[in-house]
Amino acid sequence: MLLPDDLMVGRPGCLAQMVAAYEQVGGNVVCVEEVAPDRTASYGIISPGARDGRLTEVKGLVEKPRPEDAPSNLGIVGRYILQPEVMRVLDDPVTGAGGEIQLTDAMAVLIGRQPFHGVTVDAERHDCGDKIGFVKANLALALRRDDVGPALRAFLSEQK
């Protein structure tokens, strides 16, 4: 989960950074971050092409690869700006990793047909697909609120 722009202090949020990247390169833009090798099986991983600062050309996508099969350590973290053609690809679903229909597989079809880039953003993110990540996201948001932050900080300081 990426925090909304109004909760980020002194920097634009994830989606604002992605829109800026889209305005620069067009096509399809996904948010990526470096993930630990033992976590690649939890993400769609990009095969990187040319890099320009925070932008990385996407040459390929692999859904949830084993660490030894991962083409990089750049994982897609659930924020996308996609062209509508991806929906036409999903109309003819093919099951992928885990026997599920994977958005990553549909996006991979567009590579080479349309511009496709990953952007590494400077934003706070918590993995809400992970139990502790979900708790951290809720705590991070609550701690920023004037109405519950002080009481939550007091409660946390009392915990052992």
Q: Is the CA virtual torsion 21, 24, 30, 33 positive or negative? A: negative
Residue 1, pLDDT > 80, answer no
- Identify the three-state secondary structure at position 115: coil
**Both structure tokens of 106:** 């549909």
**Predicted structure pTM score:** 0.77
At residue 98, the pLDDT reads 67
Does 138 lie in the same domain as 89? no
Does 99 lie in the same domain as 68? yes
Does 148 lie in the same domain as 118? no
At residue 33, the pLDDT reads 93
At residue 95, the pLDDT reads 66
Residue type for 139, please?
A: L
> Tell me: the pLDDT tens digits for 86-98?
998 888 766 666 6
Q: What is the CATH number of the domain that holds 96?
A: 3.90.550.10
Does 57 lie in the same domain as 46? yes
Does 109 lie in the same domain as 42? yes
Closest C-alpha to 47, from 39, 32, 59:
59
What's the number of domains the chain is made of?
2
- Containing domain of residue 155, as a range? 127-160
Closest C-alpha to 17, from 44, 86, 25:
25
> Tell me: the pLDDT tens digits for 97-133?
667 777 888 898 899 999 999 999 887 776 777 798 8
Q: Is the CA virtual torsion 68, 70, 76, 78 positive or negative? A: negative
Does 33 lie in the same domain as 86? yes
Does 97 lie in the same domain as 63? yes
Instruction: Label residues 120-136 b or e (16+ Cβ within 10 Å = b).
Output: bbebbbbbeeeeeeeeb
> Tell me: the pLDDT tens digits for 39-69?
999 999 999 999 999 999 999 999 899 999 9
Does 108 lie in the same domain as 131? no
Does 131 lie in the same domain as 60? no
